[in-house]
Amino acid sequence: MANILLVDDSRTSRRMLRNILESAGHTIIDEATDGEQAVEKYIANHPDITTLDITMPVMDGIEALKQIKQVDSEAKVIMVSASSQKDKLIEAVKYGAEDFIAKPFEPSQIISILNKLVS
């Protein structure tokens, strides 16, 4: 199972993701509420997988993705977004995101994506 860093400015989204991921046997090693914290906590924790919301204060998920990939080109990052953000998702894939999770969350989709990355 994977050690995961959850990054989302919504406490509710983080809690929902945490519940889904922990019920599937994954470990949440830390959480962040903006892109700047995400980069700092990625460097400190070296998670197996990072979930990264696109729209956040201070630094958005796209910029955080770029910085995380500069630190570790092998970083596995899954973007989290509302389905209306297709342009941002395309940009995230261009910068190295592995996959994306759409809000509202579908537990089976999330587990499937993570299992693909940890196998």
pLDDT at 72: 96
Q: How confident is the model at residue 15 (pLDDT cuts 50, 70, 90)?
A: very high
Alpha-carbon distances of 50 from 17, 25, 74, 91, rounded to whole Å: 12, 16, 12, 17
Question: Contact 22/16 with Cβ under 8 angstroms?
Answer: no
3-class DSSP assignment, residue 93: helix
pLDDT at 85: 66
pLDDT at 28: 97
Tokens describing residue 63: 């910029």
pLDDT at 83: 61
Is a pLDDT exceeding 90 seen at residue 101?
Answer: no
pLDDT at 118: 82
Tokens describing residue 36: 């700047």
25-75 residue pLDDT tens = 999 999 999 999 999 999 999 999 999 998 888 999 999 999 999 999 999
